[in-house]
Structure 1
């Protein structure tokens, strides 16, 4: 049975998610549908890319992963790529380069939405893959797909400027700095992280039980990104953190 995850901006209030699943199952009853999230903001491509990639990373290969956010922005077509045995499907709106910014992407056009429904195109990918035909066997490679840039922290001398790019469901503020880049920049030096009128001088291994309840902590989340949290509280709301908030990391001289 083919495993297909779903990440969309359809929301939870209306019947749109149920309709999506029903239409997919009408075409192929041998699909196992698993939700990653349907609570993505329509304009939040970066958040959608982060949620979809980190969620899909936990699934086995082979598997299929559909991300539908701002479906009709761009060239109004469905694209697909194979990455480590997992097939990712997405509109041509720049999301895939946000999901895999470090990857040399081989992207294929599955079909256009004015000619085929999303449901038919997704089912076509699954049927062909399950029959042993790879994307390159029946799809045309796309070299003109839309690309977006995931902003990287700016470094000047002993200062790194990062930003909040995602606020998760627990209201943790996630920064656009990965553990590897942070450790390369800091080395063995002391540091100070400043955000608005708050600061921190250490990285916690976890946020529960390492300090007084209600105190903010900085930690690396399961995806390896630096985040600002409050044990038992709403970090983003209480600290005034939102998408785009600048966070300054100062490397102290030895």
Structure 2
């Protein structure tokens, strides 16, 4: 089985992020595999172990993404591909990424493509479905279970707190989220093996693409932190006095009654 995982390098949102001049400052920031993509890597490894084949992780970006690709290899993926756009693109969007990935995957005959449901930095959830549309294959989003039997694929997906069962067939693209599995931590032997696993680096020229083909369709005007929440207020006194004060605050300050 030919299994491909789409992987993105993202800011670690558990760490402090600084913004200046409408841009997230990369200096001093921590970067990780997009957590939703980790579910994809884990599920790909499990599918390979159950059905045979190999797992390829693919990322679009700069050379810095090699670290995250090596982490995926240490988890158990077989090989990695970095589509390096550092010298070709100043900026891109979801269309850009999907166009590049679609061009790369067109002749790869992937049976299953796994992507994160969303990226924690952008949160649009567009890339996976765009790639599937570009390849002309079915896709299922927000999956929590997948079973493959020959060409038949049974999928359970989350639907706003409920679940939906879907039957489809290979090839298929799915987007992954929490509840699908528990991603493993790279073991020390896995980390050592990852250093010797193949990591191919290609550029837009290798895909017969130029900057005009993948020019962004949207422009980010500004990036800013949400306003800080005001400190809470502790009401004191007996219950009757607290109720009167609360009603006054809701009417005069919050203006909700």
For CA contacts below 8 A with separation 6 or more, give which structure has more relative contact order: 2
Q: Which structure: greater helix fraction?
A: 2
Does the pair score TM above 0.5?
Answer: no
TM-score interval, smaller chain: 0.3 to 0.5
